[in-house]
Amino acid sequence: MRTSLLVLLLLSTSQPAAAAPPPEKPGAALAALELPPCDYKPDYWTPVHSLSKPLAAGDWLAVEAELEELHASFERNHACENRMLRAFLWGFAFTDELPAQLDRWVAARPKSWTAHTLRGAMWAQKVSTLRGAAGNPLTEQQWADLRDWTERAIPDLERAIELHPRAVVAHASLVSTYQAWSAMPEVEKAYRRAIAIDPVSVHLLGATLTALQPSWGGRRELVDEIVAAARQREMENPRIARIYGYPDGWRALALEWRRTPSKGEHERIVLYYNKALRYGEVGSDWHYRRVMNYRELEDYEAVVVDSAYALAADKTWERFWSARVYALAELGRYDEALRTAREALQHIPGSVDLRWYEADVVSRMGRYDEAAAMHRAALKDTRTPHQRFIALGGIATALMKAKRYAEAEPVLAEATQINPRNTMNWHHLAEARWQLGRRADAVPAYEQFIALSEGQGWANEMRMRAQEKIDVVRSGAEPPARAVGR
């Protein structure tokens, strides 16, 4: 799910109750609705990334068959919408090879609306991710990338709609692409064209509401219009009631994204998500964010319970497994955490994130050498810079705990090159160099840590100690260099 959201929407309206209600199972308010069953392969869901293999092999007809059958079932019955979206949005791994694979598909099958949809949606996803939830400040090169990806996305999405007017994913991706440029007239035009064809797609309505946050220049009148129209059509698709939770969801997100929330604000955020999730669903982004706010509150028992709701519905939701493993480890239930991580890997084999959490549990148990070896094994299977960054971080953490600073230093140096905005990696790199006696080399890393952690209360003491070490080096009073570690 994309994360560009209506951050400031309806902030001035009603406030949450003072006392938190007990956690509700997501979708509680929808339980009484008679939702028509999906008529496509009962109980079937496209496994995550399962379409990557036939795509890489050039078996385009097989990929098209699955996508077209799922979309046809959705067109017959909107109860199938989530199954269709699962295939289109999660059926493919976003690897470095994906653009070339999609190019070959479009070249071989130029009249395939699914090929144009997937390629356009991929570029639209890159546009949304780069621009961020509230319009990230971009460098000149990033603006150039954004323009290039937009110019790639729009023609593909328009061609997909031309070939298949009810291509909901293409319509929604077009809305999100225009959102990244604050092109509200184009957002509204794309939305109105789409609802003339399918007025009750929850995915399309959600993408449009997401695009209409005030910071992007969206009109409140259109938000009200969308919600009012949805209420009139609830009998056509009872699932449309899910958008009724948007105002509370956006209130929660506003508190999360406008500042670093306090404990009291995290409690308010949970209340808002409780209200929003009465119309939401298990496994939704709001559900995951509620889990993560329990984590921020250090209510790890609630994380364990709430993530169980999602995993009971779908064992392939990686982020809920990760949250559950982390919470069990924080509770000191290491054996259970390790079993949980290994159970998760049976459902999502090869997951770099889950292998990181598995190794982290082993590290917490004091088995640092074993944890470092596990992270190194995962590193060999990484396919994207982000995955490599995660694996490197795991290796470095285990080596630092084992006081193997000479081995940790080059790993941390590479990690900071991949992601120079990660605060703790700079601190670890500085500490490794300091312990190795390379104190002048440690100073730039300490300075990066201080700059990146400015204003973050949790780092106050660490910043103070880092500055003391910088002052020692610059005063010339540093003790003789000595190597530590092995």
- The reported pLDDT for the residue numbered 95 is 84
Rounded distance between C-alpha atoms, residue 128 and residue 126, angstroms: 6
Rounded distance between C-alpha atoms, residue 187 and residue 226, angstroms: 13
The DSSP secondary structure of 12-68, one letter per residue, reads TSPPPPSSPPPPPPTTGGGTTS-PPPP-SSTT--PPTTTTHHHHHTT-HHHHHHHHH
DSSP H stretches of helix in 77-135:
81-90, 98-108, 113-131
Q: What is the CATH number of domain 403-486?
A: 1.25.40.10
Task: Please state the domain extents for the chain.
Answer: 37-218, 403-486
Q: One-letter amino acid identity for 326?
A: Y
- The reported pLDDT for the residue numbered 36 is 62
- The reported pLDDT for the residue numbered 221 is 82
Helix (H), strand (E) at residue 468: helix 460-475
Owner of token pair 């009872």: 238
Rounded distance between C-alpha atoms, residue 216 and residue 325, angstroms: 37
- Asked if 183 contacts 146 with a C-beta cutoff of 8 angstroms, the reply is no
- The reported pLDDT for the residue numbered 343 is 97
- The reported pLDDT for the residue numbered 15 is 38
Q: Decide if 37-218 and 403-486 have a common fold.
A: yes
Inter-axis angle of helices 98-108 and 113-131, nearest 10: 150
Tokens (6 digits) for 171: 């319509």
Rounded distance between C-alpha atoms, residue 302 and residue 283, angstroms: 15
- The reported pLDDT for the residue numbered 259 is 64
- Asked if 270 contacts 20 with a C-beta cutoff of 8 angstroms, the reply is yes
Q: Which CATH architecture has domain 37-218?
A: Alpha Horseshoe (1.25)
Per-run averaged pLDDT (10 residues), the chain, 486 residues: 29 34 61 59 73 93 94 90 88 88 97 97 91 70 92 97 97 95 94 94 90 75 85 86 78 73 89 86 82 94 94 90 97 97 93 91 96 92 84 93 95 94 94 95 96 87 94 76 42
Non-local CB neighbours of 126 within 8 Å, separated by 6+ positions: 149
Q: One-letter amino acid identity for 156?
A: D
- Asked if 167 contacts 161 with a C-beta cutoff of 8 angstroms, the reply is yes
Rounded distance between C-alpha atoms, residue 408 and residue 328, angstroms: 27
Q: What is the pTM of this model?
A: 0.67
- The reported pLDDT for the residue numbered 91 is 86
Tokens (6 digits) for 187: 């957002």
- The reported pLDDT for the residue numbered 429 is 96
